[in-house]
């Protein structure tokens, strides 16, 4: 069968574009595992087209590396690793191995391949004297939830802060309880990445020692504030969560964190407070998200949403003189209709018990978390995975961002 160059180019372009979509979808409040698997199957179909094209498929992928984009790097990396060709792999490393953003494509490619197929490349990366490549190797082990053994010890002793931070994160992801003491040693590190991931892993591994550091991070304005808030409150008791929440309410600048925290606390007693804040455009969608996290109600499906409020703007405007270019952090959340939601709550609140932590409509127990892992949306699934890991320290954190078709197999859905 003749190879048609324009078709091969389309396969490369579509695979890269769809990877970018799935990269966002993995954390999207509207995507379920089924949705993610369908998108991943589309990515795989275009990768198949490149596989069929053979050497021409690789040459087409190689040419796209000039775009310096993580999606193109992912596509080319899958082709290179599957070929086993050392020259091609060097091209991939040269193109993005030392760039944190671009290397995400390489890590994703190693995670996309079945572990037996990617194992030798992962080990090679970990054996490199270049710390950026070692970080790729540790990340790939973690993505597959495979224990790298003493390689983690090497990462913990590395002077490279990016490699150290990724190793600290991997300890929590892999459930390495025997290294929990090491994470405590980094709770006061000067480096923000290392400090956060040490505290996060400590909490995931069942310890309260990282919680104060997480709470402190959540009250800052750094990149880890929301994630720190969620990890801390899912580690804490309901009473401790409420104590924190009451204190946070006295700090207006932390209103967003208070709303996110309410969803992580999971107590239906906070729902009237959430409904009250659904009338404030700047935070309405976030309040709706936490409401859904507790109750499991899909606002769009249940017709409990409204259109974008007239006159309200969020994210970059079309005014060229506007210096605010930050994206709308809540753009994927539906707009809640407070009146309708209040009516729903009045009819259904007897099904909930204050003082009990809920996730998607039911108390947080192992059975419910496993159900949410199968049928919830991605943000809910991430919460369920975190709860399960904290229930059973030493158990790897379920990877809700792994290829959807692989997750479905692990969860017995196919």
**What does R_g of the chain's alpha carbons equal in angstroms?**
22
- Walking along the chain (414 residues) 10 residues at a time, the average pLDDT comes out as 86 98 96 98 98 96 96 98 97 96 97 97 97 98 97 96 98 97 95 98 95 96 95 97 96 95 98 97 96 97 90 63 67 94 98 98 98 98 98 97 98 94
User: Of 172, 191, 252, which is closest to residue 219 (Cα–Cα)?
Assistant: 252
* Cα 304 → chain centroid: 27
Q: What is the pLDDT of residue 320?
A: 53
Using the structure block, give the residue that is written with the tokens 């769009």. Answer: 300
For domain 149-235, give the fold: 1.25.10
Residue 269 vs residues 203, 265, 353: alpha-carbon distances, Å: 25, 10, 8
b (16+ CB within 10 A) / e for 70-99: bbbbbbbbbbbbbbeeeebbebbbebbbee
pLDDT of residue 182: 94
Structure tokens at 70: 């993580």
pLDDT at 162: 97
Beta bridge partners of 358: 363
Decide: 105 and 70 in contact? Cβ < 8 Å.
Answer: yes
* pTM, two decimal places: 0.95
Can you give the pLDDT at residue 316?
58
Give the per-residue pLDDT at 47: 98
The C-alpha atoms of residue 316 and residue 239 are separated, in whole angstroms, by 39
Give the C-alpha separation, 222 to 176, whole Å: 27
- Tokens encoding 116: 């037996």
**Residue 281: its pLDDT value, please?**
93
pLDDT of residue 221: 83
């Amino acid at each position: 069968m003749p190879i048609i160059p324009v078709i091969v180019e389309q396969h490369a372009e579509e695979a890269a574009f769809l990877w970018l979509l799935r990269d966002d979808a993995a954390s999207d409040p509207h995507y379920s595992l089924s949705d993610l698997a369908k998108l991943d199957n589309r990515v795989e179909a275009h990768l198949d087209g490149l596989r069929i094209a053979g050497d021409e498929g690789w040459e087409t992928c190689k040419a796209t590396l000039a775009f310096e984009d993580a999606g193109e790097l992912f596509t080319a990396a899958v082709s290179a690793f599957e070929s086993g060709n050392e020259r091609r792999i060097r091209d991939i490393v040269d193109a993005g191995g030392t760039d944190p953003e671009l290397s995400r494509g390489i890590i994703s490619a190693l995670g996309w391949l079945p572990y037996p197929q990617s194992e030798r490349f992962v080990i090679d990366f970990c054996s490199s004297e270049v710390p950026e490549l070692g970080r790729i190797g540790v990340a790939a082990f973690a993505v597959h939830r495979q224990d790298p053994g003493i390689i983690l010890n090497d990462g913990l002793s590395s002077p490279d802060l990016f490699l150290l931070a990724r190793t600290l994160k991997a300890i929590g992801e892999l459930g390495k309880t025997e290294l929990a003491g090491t994470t405590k040693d980094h709770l006061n590190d000067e480096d923000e990445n290392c400090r956060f991931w040490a505290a996060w892993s400590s909490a995931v591994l069942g310890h309260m020692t990282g919680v104060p550091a997480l709470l402190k991070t959540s009250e800052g304005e750094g990149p880890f504030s929301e994630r720190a808030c969620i990890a801390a409150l899912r580690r804490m008791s309901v009473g401790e969560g409420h104590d924190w929440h009451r204190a946070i309410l006295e700090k207006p600048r932390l209103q967003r964190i208070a709303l996110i925290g309410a969803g992580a606390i999971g107590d239906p007693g906070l729902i009237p407070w959430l409904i009250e804040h659904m009338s404030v455009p700047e935070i309405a969608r976030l309040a709706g998200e936490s409401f859904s996290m507790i109750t499991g109600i899909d606002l769009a499906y249940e017709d409990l949403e409204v259109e974008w409020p007239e006159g309200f703007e969020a994210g970059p405007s079309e005014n060229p003189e506007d210096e605010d270019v930050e994206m709308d952090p809540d753009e994927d959340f539906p707009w809640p209709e407070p009146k309708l939601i209040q009516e729903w709550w009045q009819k259904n609140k007897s099904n909930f018990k204050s003082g009990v932590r809920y996730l998607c409509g039911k108390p947080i127990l192992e059975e419910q978390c496993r159900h949410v892992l199968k049928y919830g949306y991605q943000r809910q699934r991430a919460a369920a995975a975190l709860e399960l890991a904290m229930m059973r320290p030493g158990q790897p954190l379920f990877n809700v961002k792994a290829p959807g078709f692989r997750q479905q197999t692990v969860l017995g859905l196919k």
